[in-house]
Amino acid sequence: MKNFILDVDTGVDDAFALLFAARHPEINLLGVTCVDGNTNLKQVVINTLKVLDAAEAGDIPVGVGATRPLIDEPRYAEHVHGKDGLGDMGYPESARKVDPRPAVELMRDLIEGSSDPVTLIPLAPLTNIALFLRAFPESAKKVERIVLMGGSASQGNATATAEFNIWHDPEAAAIVFQSGIPITMYGLDVFNQLRMNKSFSERLLATSHAPSTFGGRLIDAMLSRLNYEITLGDYGAVAVALYPELATQETMKVMVDTTFGPNRGATICDHRPEEFQERNYTKTWLEQNPGVQVCKTIKVDELRELWMETLSRP
């Protein structure tokens, strides 16, 4: 059993991830924290609670976090995720209540209260995580690993070089990447490989099982909006946190571009041989930055079937 906390900006692909995390028998989903990103925070919370209903999840605490990035103005991705950030499917609002604690306090309490190691899985801009690291550094030391969806070792999506989650709050991302906590980066290089088409939604919609039909409707909503094969996106990060062997990974030094030029928000991934790296970084920096596990390839068929099976569980 693995203890996970998900930080989300739900978001269609965050929904794919939440459905999986709430239903997988080997995942102990301690809590979910919300941050603005794909859409505004209020809508992110509404969407997150709806998805937990659809997943038939138990009483999982949901914390409300940052309403905006540390420095930049928010810039939403409603052109991808729909006006409501969840494919405009019209599902009713949930009766679930949010946890009264701010997201960073909820994270602290869940980590401090867990007798087993906790993995943080941010699937969104890293504002909440950076605030947590700064507010509660002693609790942060107890985090076993951060497995994040964000960044790219190749090209970007928000800009030519920057991936959306990092671009939305580059300063927060820089704090997280320099935290010293072991990090796995599930970036765009693999994010875009996990494609779904109509044949998968048809399988899910052929059942009368509520989590499956919700997943099927989400796929269809995105297919009709974007009109091409869509990706399960953020879900892959949760799956790789649970089963690291589903991805090949390479250790790289990762720096976030926080300048205000055309590469703002890009993740500079250095995988040159050590003797070349040593020429650019100080000894101290190299000691403090042992490297990020960057996912390079994923087992697409296994990941897709794992998601389908997990949703379909009774």
233 binds ligand BDR (CB under 6 A): yes
User: What's the CA gap between 94 and 78, in Å, rounded?
Assistant: 21
13 binds ligand BDR (CB under 6 A): yes
164 binds ligand BDR (CB under 6 A): yes
Q: What angle do CA 168, 138, 49 make, to 5 degrees?
A: 50
14 binds Ca ion (CB under 5 A): yes
For the bound state, the minimum distance from the C-beta of residue 42 to ligand BDR, rounded and expressed in Å, comes to: 17
Under rule CB under 5 A, which residues in 233-262 are in contact with Ca ion? 234
User: What's the CA gap between 100 and 94, in Å, rounded?
Assistant: 17
For residue 11, cis peptide bond before it (omega within 30 degrees of 0): yes
221 binds ligand BDR (CB under 6 A): no
69 binds ligand BDR (CB under 6 A): no
> Parallel, antiparallel, or unpaired: how do β-strands 230-231 and 195-196 relate?
antiparallel
Scanning 187-195, 209-217, 227-235, 274-282 for contacts with Ca ion by CB under 5 A, the matching segment is 227-235
Size of the site for ligand BDR (CB under 6 A): 15
User: What's the CA gap between 56 and 73, in Å, rounded?
Assistant: 35
User: What's the CA gap between 131 and 87, in Å, rounded?
Assistant: 29
Under rule CB under 6 A, which residues in 259-288 are in contact with ligand BDR? none
Interface residue with Ca ion, options 124, 176, 196, 266 (CB under 5 A): 124
Residue 239 contacts residue 306 (beta carbons within 8 Å): yes
Give me 205's structure tokens.
Answer: 């919609």
Query: What 3-state DSSP class applies to 131?
Result: helix
Scanning 8-16, 46-54, 102-110, 248-256 for contacts with ligand BDR by CB under 6 A, the matching segment is 8-16
Query: Please, which residue, 39 or 179, has the CB nearer to ligand BDR?
Result: 39
For the bound state, the minimum distance from the C-beta of residue 259 to Ca ion, rounded and expressed in Å, comes to: 24
Q: Please tell me the total number of residues recorded for the chain in this structure.
A: 314
Scanning 11-19, 44-52, 215-223, 258-266 for contacts with ligand BDR by CB under 6 A, the matching segment is 11-19
User: What's the CA gap between 314 and 206, in Å, rounded?
Assistant: 15
Which conformational region is residue 24 in: left (phi greater than 0), alpha (psi within -120 to 50 degrees), or beta?
beta
Contacting positions for Ca ion (CB under 5 A): 9, 11, 14, 123-124, 234
Contacting positions for ligand BDR (CB under 6 A): 11, 13-14, 38, 77, 80, 123-124, 149, 157, 163-165, 233-234
